[in-house]
């Protein structure tokens, strides 16, 4: 039987648990990869956002370059100082543009300047010093400028930031344009980057960032920091790139509240929790199935044992009865004494047969829930007394010392006397069957809390602790006991339990292997009151 159960266990493990474990291990193993991919996607997304901020600022710079070019064309050859109104309104349109200069070539010695500052705020000396700075700037950036000219010849206008040596906190973007009469000219936009970030980039950044991101533009050199969200630690930025048009400035981004690692970790934790939950449910399920199957297999085994047991039990008395009755029938027994002995054997065996059949019938009635109980007011002492007096002779004949000690103060209870006698008889029967050489049986009645009890005590083989609960199950017999020598069906105690349940009572068992057992039947004082 153990083999079958082990086999079933193995099959369950193989067909359910193994694939599941495989799946789970696989899932756990692919976690790392998945999370890496996820992290990559996240960073890609952040990168794309930074790219779009850069793209936008470059677009703005480009459109301004065009505007400046168009403006210059419109202004034609008019001297810069003569169209103040026009110049003023032009600069109002392009906030953060401080001014721009125009040169014919790198070598140009007299550059034209346009400034957002009103004319009366700039004096000739200013223009002179600006001229020198701008000329130096052109000299310093010859390489870039030559490249820009090449681009232009190829029909492509590029805008390049150049190192700024103008006024502090401004940046210069240069590009090449043509006048209407196709003469190339170099234009340098002088911008205030801080202003540019606040006035031009900020609305765009706010729009991109929304609630999900913090976008920050910084230039530690000039102590500048702009954040799309006010309460944000600048050190938390997850990605940072230089701004194309202002290389000294960086634009950085971060997820609001949490980092990518947080997000990924959160996902890993949720997944692991889910998987562990799933595994636990699976293991629980397999365990429940295994337990049920095991129970069924054991029950099937117990039932088949029961059938062979019972048929053996029935066959022995039947064989004895038929043997002795045949001997008597043939008149082979001469002495009266012998005859009497044979009759005795026949009646004893018939009795035993009757008992077995009775207990089987009783049991099947109980199982079907058909046994009726008849509760009447009775004294438990009387019931115990009756059992004792009918058994005393028989037990003493078998060599037992047998005693009954009664507690006379037990109140009247509602009992089914016949059923209670049957329960006590079953206990006494067992005490006889499972006693070794120490043949002593005691019956006690008494009170405990709100219960009256009858207990049957023997000094027999005892019951191992692990089996003490199981002996009340139907068909169960302790395998380590002498079940092969002692006849039994494994029904007696389950009948006792059934009877006690009907009385709303309890059974207590105190037993020690090789020392003896004590079965105590407890009846509540309000027993039988339904
Ligand atoms: P059985 O017909 O086998 O006696 P029971 O239901 O009466 O069936 O008892 C179940 C098992 O409990 C017995 O097979 C025996 O192993 C154990 N048992 C019952 N009573 C005693 C006892 N007084 N001493 C030792 N073992 C006992």
pLDDT of res. 222: 85
CB 396, CB 462: distance < 8 Å: no
Angstrom distance (rounded) from CA 300 to CA 306: 10
Whether residue 124 is predicted with pLDDT greater than 80 in this model: the reply is no
Evaluate: CB of 528 within 6 angstroms of ligand 1.
Answer: no
The predicted pLDDT at position 181 comes to 81
| Mean pLDDT in residue range 72-97 | 75
Residue 56: both structure tokens together:
């936008």
Q: Which of 73-87, 96-110, 195-209, 484-498 has the lowest mean pLDDT?
A: 73-87
Instruction: List, as one string, the DSSP characters of 253-321.
Output: EEESSS-HHHHHHHHHHHHHHHHHHHHHHHHHHHHHHHHHHHHHHHHHHHHHHHHHHHHHHHHHHHHHH
Distance 273 CA to ligand 1 centre (A): 49
Q: Sheet containing 451-458: which strands, arranged edge to edge?
A: 401-405, 440-448, 451-458, 516-524, 506-512
* pLDDT, tens digit (0-9, with 9 covering 90-100), for 214-261: 899 998 888 888 888 776 555 667 788 999 999 989 999 887 767 667
What is the 135 CA–ligand 1 centroid distance (Å)? 116
pLDDT at 458: 96
Mean pLDDT over 85-109 rounds to: 84
- 489 Cα nearest atom in ligand 1: 2
Which atom of ligand 1 is found nearest the CA of 516?
24
Q: Is the CB of 434 under 6 A from ligand 1?
A: yes
From the alpha carbon of 460, which atom of ligand 1 is closest? 24
Atom of ligand 1 nearest to the CA of 491: 6
Protein residue with its CA nearest to atom 25 in ligand 1: 462
pLDDT in tens, 473-491: 877 888 766 555 676 777 8
Instruction: Return the percentage of the chain with pLDDT > 70, whole number.
Output: 91
User: Does 478 contact ligand 1 (Cβ within 6 A)?
Assistant: yes
Tell me the Cα Rg of the chain.
53
Cα–ligand 1 centroid distance for 478 (angstroms): 7
Mean of the pLDDT values across residues 46-70? 92
Q: Taking a C-beta distance cutoff of 8 angstroms, is the pair 97, 64 a contact?
A: yes
Q: Choose one of 433, 442, 482, 508 to mutate for the ligand 1 pocket test, by most ligand atoms within 8 angstroms of C-beta.
A: 433
CA of 490, closest atom in ligand 1: 8
Average pLDDT score over residue span 152-159: 88
**482 Cα–ligand 1 center, Å:** 10
Distance 390 CA to ligand 1 centre (A): 22
Is the pLDDT assigned to residue 304 strictly greater than 90? no
Residue 530 confidence (pLDDT) above 50: no
**C-alpha to C-alpha distance for 495 and 142, rounded to whole angstroms:** 111
> For residue 169, what pLDDT is reported?
73
Q: What is the distance in A from the centroid of ligand 1 to the CA of 480? A: 11
- What's the pLDDT at 306? 73
Average pLDDT for 255-277: 78
Residue nearest to atom 12 of ligand 1 (CA): 471
Residue 284 has pLDDT above 70, yes or no: yes
pLDDT at 400: 93
Q: Is the pLDDT of residue 177 over 80?
A: yes
Q: For the segment 356-368, what is each residue's pLDDT rounded down to a tens digit?
A: 888 788 778 887 7
Please name the helix (run of DSSP H) or strand (run of DSSP E) that holds residue 388, with its range, or none.
helix 380-397
Q: In which band, very low, low, confident or very high, does the pLDDT at 385 lie, cut at 50, 70 and 90? A: very high
At residue 78, the pLDDT reads 57
Hey, CA dihedral for 486, 487, 492, 493, is it positive or negative?
A: positive
460 Cβ closer than 6 Å to some ligand 1 atom: yes
Q: How far is the CA of 506 from the centre of ligand 1 (A)?
A: 18
Answer yes or no: is pLDDT of 101 > 80.
yes
Q: Do the bridges between strand 401-405 and strand 440-448 make them parallel or antiparallel, or are there none, so unpaired?
A: parallel
Ligand 1 geometric centre to CA of 490 (Å): 7
What's the pLDDT at 165? 67
Taking alpha carbons only, the member of 353, 357, 370, 367 closest to residue 319 is 353
Q: What is the mean pLDDT of residues 489-512?
A: 91
């Amino acid at each position: 039987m153990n083999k079958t159960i082990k086999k079933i266990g193995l099959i369950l493990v193989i067909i359910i648990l193994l694939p599941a474990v495989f799946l789970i291990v696989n899932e756990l193993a692919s976690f790392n990869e998945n999370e890496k991919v996820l992290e990559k996607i996240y960073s890609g997304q952040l990168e794309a956002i930074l790219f779009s901020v850069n793209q936008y600022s470059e677009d703005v710079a480009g459109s301004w370059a065009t505007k400046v070019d168009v403006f210059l064309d419109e202004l034609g050859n008019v001297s810069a100082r003569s169209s103040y109104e026009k110049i003023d309104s032009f600069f109002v349109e392009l906030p953060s543009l401080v001014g721009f200069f125009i040169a014919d070539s790198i070598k140009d010695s007299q550059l034209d300047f346009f400034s957002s500052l009103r004319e009366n705020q700039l004096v000739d000396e200013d223009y002179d010093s600006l001229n020198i700075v701008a000329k130096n700037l052109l000299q310093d950036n010859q390489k870039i400028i030559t490249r820009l000219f090449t681009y232009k010849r190829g029909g492509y206008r590029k805008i390049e930031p150049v190192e700024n040596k103008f006024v502090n906190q401004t940046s210069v973007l240069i590009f090449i344009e043509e006048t209407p009469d196709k003469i190339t000219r170099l234009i340098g936009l002088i911008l205030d980057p801080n202003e540019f970030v606040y006035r031009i980039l900020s609305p765009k950044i706010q729009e991109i960032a929304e609630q999900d991101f913090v976008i920050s533009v910084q230039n530690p050199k000039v102590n500048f920091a702009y954040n799309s969200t006010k309460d944000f630690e600048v050190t938390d930025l997850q990605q940072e790139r230089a701004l194309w048009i202002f290389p000294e400035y960086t634009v950085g981004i971060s997820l609001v509240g949490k980092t990518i690692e947080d997000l990924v970790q959160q996902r890993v934790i949720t997944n692991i929790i889910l998987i562990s939950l799933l595994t636990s449910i699976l293991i629980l399920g397999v365990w429940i199935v295994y337990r049920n199957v095991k129970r069924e297999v054991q029950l099937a085994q117990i039932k088949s044992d029961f059938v062979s047991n019972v048929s053996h039990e029935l066959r022995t008395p039947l064989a004895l009865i038929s043997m002795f009755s045949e001997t008597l029938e043939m008149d082979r027994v001469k002495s009266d004494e012998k005859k009497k002995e044979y009759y005795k054997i026949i009646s004893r065996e018939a009795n035993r047969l009757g008992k077995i059949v009775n207990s089987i019938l009783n049991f099947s009635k109980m199982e079907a829930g058909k046994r009726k109980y008849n509760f009447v007011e009775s004294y438990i002492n009387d019931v115990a007394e009756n059992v004792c007096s009918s058994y005393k002779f028989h037990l003493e004949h078998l060599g037992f010392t047998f005693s009954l000690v009664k507690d006379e103060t037990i109140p009247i209870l509602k009992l089914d006397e016949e059923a209670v006698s049957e329960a006590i008889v079953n206990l006494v029967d067992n005490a006889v069957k499972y006693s070794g050489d120490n043949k002593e049986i005691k019956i006690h009645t008494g009170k405990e809390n709100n219960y009256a009890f009858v207990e049957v005590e023997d000094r027999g083989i005892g019951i191992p602790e692990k089996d003490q609960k199981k002996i009340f199950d139907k068909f169960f017999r302790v395998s380590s006991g002498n079940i092969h020598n002692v006849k039994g069906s494994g029904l007696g105690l389950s009948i006792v339990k059934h009877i006690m349940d009907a009385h709303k009572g309890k059974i207590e068992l105190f037993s020690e292997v090789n020392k003896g057992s004590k079965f105590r039947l407890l009846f509540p004082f309000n027993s039988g009151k339904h």
